Amino acid sequence: MLSLLFSNPIFFLIWSGALVIAITIHEFAHAWMADHLGDPTPSIQGRLTLNPKAHLDPLGTLTLVLVGFGWGKPVMFDPFNLRNPKRDSALIALAGPTANFILAFILSLLAKLFPSLLPLIQLLVSLNIMLAVFNLIPIYPLDGQKILTGLLPHQLALEYEAIMHQYGTILLIFLIWPFSGTSLVSSLINPIINFFLNLLL
C-alpha cells in the first residue's frame, strides 16, 4: 500500500481517509458497547467519540499502510464494571467488527442508489470488510481472541488467554510479516474478504 504514495498519491490520500473512517467506526463501537453495558471507562478516557484522533494507533495504522492489515488504539474497559465480565467482554470485542460489517452493508446499498460513487464506495466497503475480518482472527491483541475467550469454558478460556497474552503478539507479527511479498494472514483471510465483497458488491 505504501507504494501508492509514490505511484498514485491522490488515491493514497483517498484510501487513507477511508481507512481512518473504518478504524474510527470500529473503535467507537467498542467504546459504545462498553458504555452501554455499564462501564464508563471509555467515556472517561475520551473514546466515546467519532473524532478519529481518539482512535488511531500509530503502530496499527503503520502496519495497515505497509502490509494492508492493522488495528486502532485499543479501547480500555474495566471488567469489574460489567454485570457478566466474560460475556460482556466478548460483546465489547464483537462490537467493532460488527460495526464495520454494518457500515459495509449500508455503503453497498448506497452504491446501488448512487452508481457514480461506486469506486469510492467500493474502497470504503473493502476496507471495512478487511478490518472486520482481520480483527476476528482469534489471536491477541485482536478482537477475535476476546470473542473466543468469551465462548470457551471457564478454565479453558483462562488457559487460552494466558497463552495468547504470552505469545499472541509474536504470532501475529509472524502472520502479518510479508514473506516473499505476501503475508500468511493474507492467504488465510483474503478468500473470506473476497466472499463478502462479492456478496455486497
CA dihedral 87→89→94→96, nearest 10 degrees, is 160
Task: Say how far apart CA 131 and CA 143 lie, in whole Å.
Answer: 11
Q: 182: which strand partners? A: 179
Using an 8 Å Cβ cutoff, are 68 and 186 in contact?
A: yes
- The residue type found at 23 is I
The answer to whether the beta carbons of residues 168 and 140 sit under 8 Å apart is: yes
Instruction: Clarify whether 27 is annotated catalytic.
Output: yes
Query: Three cell numbers at 193?
Result: 474478504
Catalytic residue among 27, 35, 88, 143: 27
Amino acid at 44: I
DSSP 54: G
Total Cβ atoms within 10 A of residue 45: 13
Positions annotated as catalytic residues are 27
